[in-house]
Amino acid sequence: MWHALALALAAATLCVGTASADDSQGVKIGVLTDMAGVTADATGKGSVEAARMAIEEAGGTLLGKPVALVYADHQHKPDVGSSIARTWYDTQGVDVIVDVPNSAVALAVQALAAQKKKLLLISSAGTTAVTQAQCSPYTVQWTYTTYALARGTASAVVQEGLKSWFILASDYAFGKQLAADTASVVNANGGKVVGTVYHPLNAADFASFLLQAQSSRAQVVALANAGGDTISAIKQAAEFGIVQGGQKLAAMLLLDTDVNSLGLPAAQGTYLTMPFYWNQNDGTRAFSTKFQARVGHPPTFLQAGVYGSVRHYLQAVKAAGTTDSDAVMRKMKELPIDDAFSMNAHIRDDGLVVRDMLLAQVKPPAQSTQPWDFYNVVRRIPGDSLAWPLADSQCPLVRK
């Protein structure tokens, strides 16, 4: 049944202009996302709308031909994601796939995209493997990495004097990499990880994991997971009295939709690192107002990443005068990234977008002046400090 559902979703099409399975008829963009799972609120419909907004801004046509948009739900299954991507690339004329929440799915699709010499712009998967050992000349990791989030958040919390950590992570590529990156940063700053435990994706019951965290007596319980898992873990941590007992929670990936679900009383004081905040500047506020009118809430940084990556891709196609993957990738690396939320951003040889990010803290309820007014920005973090040096890269594309 799931295979039939995947194929049905793969056939769903949103068009700007006229969609066609023949790529000679125009540019076609595929949003491979999570429409109903643990990260659906943070990606899903919003990612589709973000891509459509970028297409509309480009005028709906490119090089005299229409731009079309297709989307599908990968269900957090690498085999489903690969099957959809193969169909898109082979028979539906898709030129580029974007979004791809879930690192295991992203890595599977990346291998296929490299084989097919097709472009892949990853907004919502954070594993460093994408632009390290498994890097591809046809992939850009657009929005964030687990390395960047760990460097931004863990270093700030350890430097406040909270040295002992227990890590609760999701049991797939993203969670494992985020846990490893967090541990590395904690240790490098003089702290110590006293325990790590992994939970299944979309877990319903965190009791046994939280009891281990509680009994560890660690000063900080770090949550290396995402979406619904982060929300459930924080809510159940409150039921176990973890914060009341003196331990701190650190959410290594926290999105606006998560804070909205939790409420400010539960989330207040939490540190986070983010590449985009809707209330960041006039440009992000203008974009977010348009986005909210369609989706019902401001964009998460994952959804903003989809918009930015599609926007930059379309600019590169126009400049290159072709949809040829190699020519477009060269232009993407040459052109400046100029969307409203990208700060000092550029694409490196390994396909990683290096960008400044924001260290923020969730506001107490009394400081929030309007809906979705969630954060106090502590400072801007230079992008170079959030990316591994190219000299240390495992990517074979990097010239050393």
- The domain that contains 93 carries what CATH number? 3.40.50.2300
Q: Give how many domains the chain has, as a whole number.
A: 2
Question: Does 8 fall in a domain?
Answer: no
Within a domain: residue 332? yes
Q: Please indicate, yes or no, if residue 398 is contained in any of the structural domains.
A: no
Residue 82 lies in a domain: yes
Residues 162 and 104 in one domain: no
CB atoms within 10 A of CB 159: 12
- Is there a domain that residue 151 lies in? yes
Q: Looking at the predicted structure, is the pLDDT value of residue 129 above 80?
A: yes
If asked whether residues 160 and 265 sit together in one domain, one would say: yes
Mean pLDDT lowest among 55-59, 154-158, 393-397: 154-158
Residue 390 inside a domain? The answer is: no
- Is the pLDDT at 373 greater than 70? The verdict is yes
pLDDT tens for each residue of 159-172: 889 999 999 999 98
Q: Is the residue at 129 inside a domain?
A: yes
pTM of the model: 0.89
DSSP 295-351: HSSPPPHHHHHHHHHHHHHHHHHHHHTS--HHHHHHHHHHSPP-STT--S-EE-TTS
262 lies in the same domain as 152: yes
| Same-domain check for residues 56 and 180 | no
Residues 303 and 178 in one domain: no
Q: For residues 182 and 165, what is the distance between their CA atoms, to the nearest angstrom? A: 10
pLDDT in tens, 204-221: 899 999 999 999 999 999
Q: Which residue has the higher pLDDT, 359 or 119?
A: 119
In this structure, are 55 and 110 located in the same domain?
Answer: yes
Shared domain for 64 and 151, answered yes or no, is no
Is the domain of 256 the same as that of 311?
A: no
- In this structure, the answer to whether residues 105 and 161 fall within a common structural domain is no
Q: What percent of the chain shows pLDDT beyond 90?
A: 83
Residue 390 DSSP class: G
CA distance 193 to 184: 9
Most confident of 154-158, 167-171, 268-272: 167-171
Structural domain boundaries enclosing 222: 147-274+359-385
The residue-averaged pLDDT of 254-278 equals 92
- What pLDDT does 2 receive? 40
To the nearest whole percent, how much of the chain has pLDDT over 70?
A: 94
Domain presence at residue 4: no
Distance CA 58, CA 318 (A): 10
- Residue 228 pLDDT grade (very low, low, confident, very high; cuts 50, 70, 90): confident
